[in-house]
Structure 1
């Protein structure tokens, strides 16, 4: 850092580094723990395993973990701790491929979950596990093929990972980011989340199948509130990124300020991939009870039983050994 750097620029640079260190580290820990707990609960309880909508949420949690690792971890190490993992061409290619793949899969999954939730309330025959499996496979294959150009055109240029194709760079900047990762999923989530909420209210007034209604209301409230958080957390970063495609930076101070603003907004954006578990817990009392049941009544007892059997086996082996001697 130059000794001639002005105090305001030094402040921007230091604050940006602190943002990446503290926000990034916190997001990494809380995000991975939360998404792992989601997977444990969704996979343990039969009511979730047999739910087509929750099948999409499981895929979303897996892709969220991938997004946190390949996006947040790399950015935190690079800008916070000055540890640059992007030192080779293949790491650059794989990171860009996986960042966009995980983001697209995550957003598509929550979109499919909102659509399925609406169908489960209005047309249950269209909300079935067989359809969810098909849609999941199609989604994964589609985004794998769609992101192949990142493996071809991304490379290390002047020490940074960049897109070497002007055409594909234009497509990524003006379609993938604002449309596929912005306007389109937001519109789908909003429309079907609202339709699901209206359907739940209608069924509740009609007093139809209260057991089924309780489960559907739980999933609907979880998905609906999470959708709201995704929109609130991600839109500022998306809008700023579009604005910064042609940045009006005329000096070093403007550049440093822009990096600080983008750093803050990007962590709000990535928080949308890390907060689902905590939102589910806040929104649904039933989910909190299911969490405690899974952790303490199912897995803790299972671990205690396994540990007890291991101790008994060790005691048995010691007794046999002493008798033999």
Structure 2
């Protein structure tokens, strides 16, 4: 099982096969869109393929170190009893790279917001114009109403007795 995990599962199934397939397909689609699409649709399709290409580059950058570390971990087989210092370093690096791999899912949103103005405008429109207004209306329902003050008549009337 250790040989399968270290030589097939992490290098091929988890690491290089998905990276190779996504990189190859995104490059082919990027090249295809740049060459064959009419001028009217070209701008939107170029933007979409640019987003896909950036997404694949981020995927490769964030996945490759974790894959290499997992292969190294199974090949070297460091245990706490053999070398405690090396085992601690390996666990620390593994935790950091595991976090980096999980960033793979969140970082695309922020990269798209920074890199593409149209995506940035859409996110701004949805978050500020729609969600923020709805939240503001929900939170302040009825709290900002102005009611007139009731003015009390302070002059004594004939039926009231004045006590000195």
Q: TM-score, normalised by structure 2?
A: 0.71
The residue aligned with 1:221 is: 50
Q: 1:271/1:305 Cα in 2 relative to 1: closer, same or farther (>3 Å)?
A: closer
- Structure 2 counterpart of 1:294, from 111, 114, 126: 126
Q: Does 1:191 align with 2:24?
A: yes
Residue 311 (1) aligns with residue 142 (2): yes
Decide which structure has greater helix share.
Answer: 1
Query: Structure 1 residue 193: deviation in Å?
Result: 0.9
Matches within 5 A, 1:176-325: 176-203=9-36, 208-210=38-40, 212-247=41-76, 249=78, 250-305=82-137, 310-311=141-142
* Contact 1:190/1:227 (8 A) holds in 2: yes
Output the CA distance in 1 between the equivalents of 2:8 and 2:83: 29
2:128 & 2:56 partners in 1: Cα distance?
A: 29
Q: Based on CA coordinates, which of the two structures has the bigger radius of gyration?
A: 2
CA-CA distance at 1:285 after TM superposition = 1.3
Cα separation, 2, equivalents of 1:225 and 1:235: 16
> Kindly tell me: are residues 311 and 189 of structure 1, through their superposed partners in 2, closer, same or farther at Cα, counting changes over 3 Å?
same
Matches within 5 A, 1:48-197: 167=1, 171-197=4-30
**Runs of 4+ displaced beyond 6 Å:** none
Conserved in 2, the CA contact under 8 Å of 1:218 and 1:286? no
| Distance apart, 1:170 and its partner CA | 5.8
Gaps of 5+ in 1: 1-166, 319-325
| Rounded Cα–Cα distance in structure 2 between residues aligned with 1:295 and 1:253 | 48
How far apart in 1 are the matches of 2:18 and 2:77? 29
Q: CA RMSD in A?
A: 2.9
| Number of residue-to-residue matches in the alignment | 143
Match of 1:27 in 2: none
Q: Matched residue of 2:106: which SS? A: coil
- Counterpart residue number, 2:158: none
Deviates more, 1:176-185 or 1:284-293: 176-185
Give the number of the structure with larger relative contact order, counting CA–CA contacts within 8 Å between residues 6 or more apart: 1
Contact 1:222 1:279 in 2 (8 A): no
Q: Distance in 2 between matches of 1:283 and 1:195?
A: 21
1:270: how far off? 2.2
Cα distance, 1:173 vs structure 2: 4.9
* CA pair 215-193 structure 1, distance change in 2 beyond 3 A: same
